[in-house]
Amino acid sequence: MADLFTVAPGRKALVTGGASGIGLGAARALLATGARVAIADLPAALDRMGQTERDALVPVPMDVTDDASVGAGVAAAAATLGGLDTLVNSAGVFQFRAIEGISTPEWDRIIDINLKGTFLAMREAMPHLKASKRGRVVNISSDAGKRGFALLGAYCASKFGVIGLTQAVGAEVAPDGVRVNAVCPGSVSETKMGQVVIEQKIALGFGGSPEEVVRRGAESFPLRRLGTVEDVVSAVMFLISENSNWITGESINIDGGSLAG
C-alpha cells in the first residue's frame, strides 16, 4: 500500500492509539517506507502487542487525556527518534447512548479521548513538526464527524470537533510547512472499536449475531461492504506522502459512499 505513494525518506513518526486497529495499520505502513515509528498507547495495550512488533516500533506509554502524560510521551518519542515530522492521531473510543441516558463522566471520556487527546498531541508535537520543515499531521475523524447519527451525540460532537480543529490548525501552521488533514472513516468492523460497535448494535437489537450486523451494515453502504483498515490507512499514507503536497485542512471521506447518499 505504501508503494502507491512517494513518502519522503527517513520520516520520524508518532502514532497515538498505535497498538491496534487503524493506528497499528498506519504504523506498519510507515515502517514499510523506512520510517522510524513510535506508537503511543496505554501500557496494557502496548503489553498485548507481539514482541516482534514491539521490537520494530518504539512503544511509548501515553494517556492521551492527560497533559503530563502526552507531554512526556511526545518528548520521549522525539528524543528516541531524533525529532518528529509526522503525527497520526488514532486514539479513540465509541459509545451508543441516548442523550438523556449518557452520564457526564461518559460524555467527558469520549470528548477527552477523541477530541482533547487530538488537541494535546498536536500541541505537544507541533514545535517538533515545525522544526522539521516537513511536518505532517493526519487526524482520524469519522463519517460521524460530518453527519449526526442517533444515539451518538457525544461521539459526533467529538469527531465534528476533530474536523474543526484540523481546519483551524491547518490554516495556522501552513506557513511553517506543516500540513494538517483528517480522514473520516465509515464502519470498519475489523478493529477493536469496530467490534465494540457490533456488540453494542446487537444489544440495541440491530441484529442477532455479529454476522447479521455486518451483513446489514454492509448493505447500508452504496459500495455494499464495510471498510477495512487498509482502506483507511491508504488514505492516511496519501496525506503523509509527497503526492498530497498542496492539501491541508482537508477531511477526506473513506465511507463507501455513505455521505454521498
Question: What is the per-residue pLDDT across 218-228, written as a single tens digit (0 to 9) for each?
Answer: 999 999 999 99
Predicted pLDDT of residue 39: 98
Which position has the grid cell 513518526?
13
- Cβ-based neighbour number of residue 164 at 10 Å: 15
Tally of domains in the chain: 2
Predicted pLDDT of residue 195: 86
Q: How confident is the model at residue 189 (pLDDT cuts 50, 70, 90)?
A: confident
Mean pLDDT score of the chain, rounded to an integer?
A: 95
pLDDT(1) > 50: no
Q: Are residues 43 and 85 in the same domain?
A: yes
Task: Please compute the mean of the pLDDT values over residues 81-103 and round it to a whole number.
Answer: 97
Predicted pLDDT of residue 176: 98
Q: Are residues 62 and 137 in the same domain?
A: yes
What's the longest Cα–Cα distance across the chain? 53
Q: List the beta strands (DSSP E) in the chain.
A: 12-16, 36-41, 58-61, 86-89, 136-140, 179-185, 251-254
**Angstrom distance (rounded) from CA 97 to CA 135:** 37
Q: Are residues 218 and 119 in the same domain?
A: no
**Angstrom distance (rounded) from CA 75 to CA 42:** 16
Q: Are residues 39 and 56 in the same domain?
A: yes
Please report whether residue 2 resides in a domain.
no
Q: Are residues 82 and 196 in the same domain?
A: no
Predicted pLDDT of residue 190: 81
DSSP conformation class of 168: H
Q: Are residues 154 and 198 in the same domain?
A: no
Task: Please compute the mean of the pLDDT values over residues 238-256 and round it to a whole number.
Answer: 97
Q: Are residues 210 and 148 in the same domain?
A: no
Predicted pLDDT of residue 194: 81
DSSP conformation class of 186: -
Question: What is the per-residue pLDDT across 195-235, written as a single tens digit (0 to 9) for each?
Answer: 888 899 899 998 899 999 999 999 999 999 999 999 999 99
Which residues, in sequence order, are CB contacts of 51 under 8 Å at separation 6+? none
- Residues with active-site annotation: 155
Please report whether residue 258 resides in a domain.
no
Q: Are residues 31 and 82 in the same domain?
A: yes
Task: Please compute the mean of the pLDDT values over residues 180-188 and round it to a whole number.
Answer: 96
Q: How confident is the model at residue 2 (pLDDT cuts 50, 70, 90)?
A: very low
Please report whether residue 195 resides in a domain.
yes
Domain limits for position 219? 187-226
**Angstrom distance (rounded) from CA 56 to CA 66:** 26
Please report whether residue 182 resides in a domain.
yes
Q: Are residues 131 and 235 in the same domain?
A: yes
Q: Are residues 75 and 200 in the same domain?
A: no
Q: How confident is the model at residue 3 (pLDDT cuts 50, 70, 90)?
A: low
Please report whether residue 3 resides in a domain.
no
Task: Please compute the mean of the pLDDT values over residues 33-49 and round it to a whole number.
Answer: 96
Q: What is the CATH number of the domain that holds 32?
A: 3.40.50.720
Task: Please classify residue 71 by burial: count the beta carbons closer than 10 Å to its beta carbon, then call 0-12 exposed, 13-18 middle and 19+ buried.
Answer: middle
DSSP conformation class of 7: P
Predicted pLDDT of residue 106: 97
Q: Are residues 19 and 49 in the same domain?
A: yes
Q: Are residues 85 and 196 in the same domain?
A: no
Instruction: Tell me how long the chain is.
Output: 261
